A and B are shown apart, each in its own frame.
Chain A
Amino acid sequence: MNSEIRPRTAAPAPPAAPRLPLATPGLSSGPKMSDDVFREIREFIYRLTGIYFQDNKKYLLEGRLAKRLQLLGMKDFGQYLQALKYGAKADEMKSFYDAITINETFFFRSEPQCEAFEKTLVPDIVAARKTGGRTKVRVWSAASSSGEEAYTLSMIYMERLKPKFPGLEFEVVGTDISPTVLDTARRGVYREYSVRNTPQPYMDKYFDSADGRHAVRDDVRRLARFEHLNLFDQKQMRQMMGFDIIFCCNVLIYFDMQSKIQVVSNLYDSLNKGGYLFIGYAESLHGISSAFKLINFPKTVAYKKE
């Protein structure tokens, strides 16, 4: 894979004659959220989703929820919170979820994880299934956002694994709490920014590209399906069983310690024996779970359920 990766980067604008700056703009001068209301909203979000907004992220919440206030014609956040708690329609909850989640992802985001997935994890799982006949590998992309991770894995399967294991069935389930990104994922159409790290052979084979839009081809799209799921909802989590590999990258950081412990415990239960969990590059399960066996790969670590 190494020799084929040519990340593409967009060049910034060409230099113009420098000028003095305009009157100094500040950040949005919208409605302000009082500390008390912030704490209430934070608590509400936490109880609903396990996501915890730290004090220094108040401005982020303020900015994002301000749009909802504007669109609903409300004057203050307290009012908005009351509406959510006692009168929210399903649509507004959806918008609310969209507002509080952060969805930054792109194709082939973690090369070390892709390598380990292709070279060790799947072959390992296949070898451990001693039954003859059909083997199926089920992958869960938890917090799949707009689907780039799920489709990346599907592409790697088509390009590298299917030729080696012709009888292998493969399925990726992508889940997220935010309905908008799920729609994007199902459509499978992306812009330049999302594909900037994709090796050219993959671009050529698995995307249809036109006018700066890149559509994932049908044979890849068929391998993935996307569903709504709240990682903090025990009932929903208990429905997710029988997975061989789980990717849960860069989402645990939004939870506090207790929530992390619960989510990871659920993820363990969702795995088949011999299955693997990946979390994000800067993340750790230290103090969260010691149920897994830690397996080192070049530049990354996987957690195995034995």
Chain B
Amino acid sequence: MGKHIMIVDDSATVRKFVAASLTMQGFNVVAACDGMDALEKLPSGTFDLVITDLNMPNMDGFELIRSLRENPQYRDLPVIILSSLGDQDSMATGRSLGVQSYLMKPFSLEKIQYEVSKYISWAD
């Protein structure tokens, strides 16, 4: 039981450290290495939040979010972008896709934990 979060990033380092930040708070974390991997893994469980990078092979973060928003099952799934892209266009695209938050890398433990807690409550 408890809350499930999916972290999507092509960097194994980022996946590891973000996952660790969240498991320390009692969340269940599933990692995916890109948007396609994420979409293939979604049916395996019920997720409460997705944290995604933008630059990834096979399917980038924007395409992933678009796909989620087009699907009635995932339309309301909270999404946080975690990216090194800080340009206006990227942020505007994120906003227009209805993401909850846009976090800049490099991330810190506190920032991740704080942002996540805004959208899902503490693990049961």
A residues apposed to B, CB below 8 Å: 112, 284-287, 290, 293-301
Contact = CB atoms under 8 A, between A and B. Distances in A.
A207 B39 CA distance: 38
A296 B42 contact: yes
A286 B43 contact: no
Given A296-B67, A296-B74, A290 B39 contact: no
B40 A294 contact: yes
Given A286-B58, A290-B58, A290-B59, A298 B40 contact: no
B73 A301 contact: no
Contact of A286 (B37, B67, B73, B74): B37
Contacts of B88: none
Given A290-B58, A290-B59, A294-B59, A299 B36 contact: no
B71 interface: yes
Contacts of B59: 290, 294
In the A-B complex, the 7 residue pairs with the closest CB atoms: A294-B39, A299-B43, A284-B40, A290-B58, A296-B71, A286-B37, A286-B36
17 contacts: A112-B43, A284-B37, A285-B40, A286-B58, A294-B39, A294-B40, A294-B59, A295-B71, A296-B42, A296-B43, A296-B73, A296-B74, A297-B73, A299-B43, A301-B39, A301-B40, A301-B43
A303 to B, nearest CB: 10
A298 B42 CA distance: 9
Interface in B18-55: 34, 36-37, 39-40, 42-43
A298 B43 contact: yes
B60 to A, nearest CB: 11
Nearest to B44: A299
Nearest to B68: A296
A299 B43 CA distance: 5
Contacts of A297: 43, 73
A262 B67 CA distance: 26
A296 B39 contact: yes
A290 B43 contact: no
Contacts of A300: 43
Contact of B36 (A112, A294, A295): A294
Contacts of A287: 58
A287 B34 CA distance: 11
A9 B87 CA distance: 59
Nearest to B35: A294
A302 to B, nearest CB: 11
Contacts of B43: 112, 296-301
Given A294-B36, A296-B73, 12 more contacts: A112-B43, A284-B40, A286-B34, A286-B37, A293-B67, A295-B67, A296-B42, A296-B43, A296-B67, A298-B73, A299-B43, A301-B43
B36 A290 contact: yes
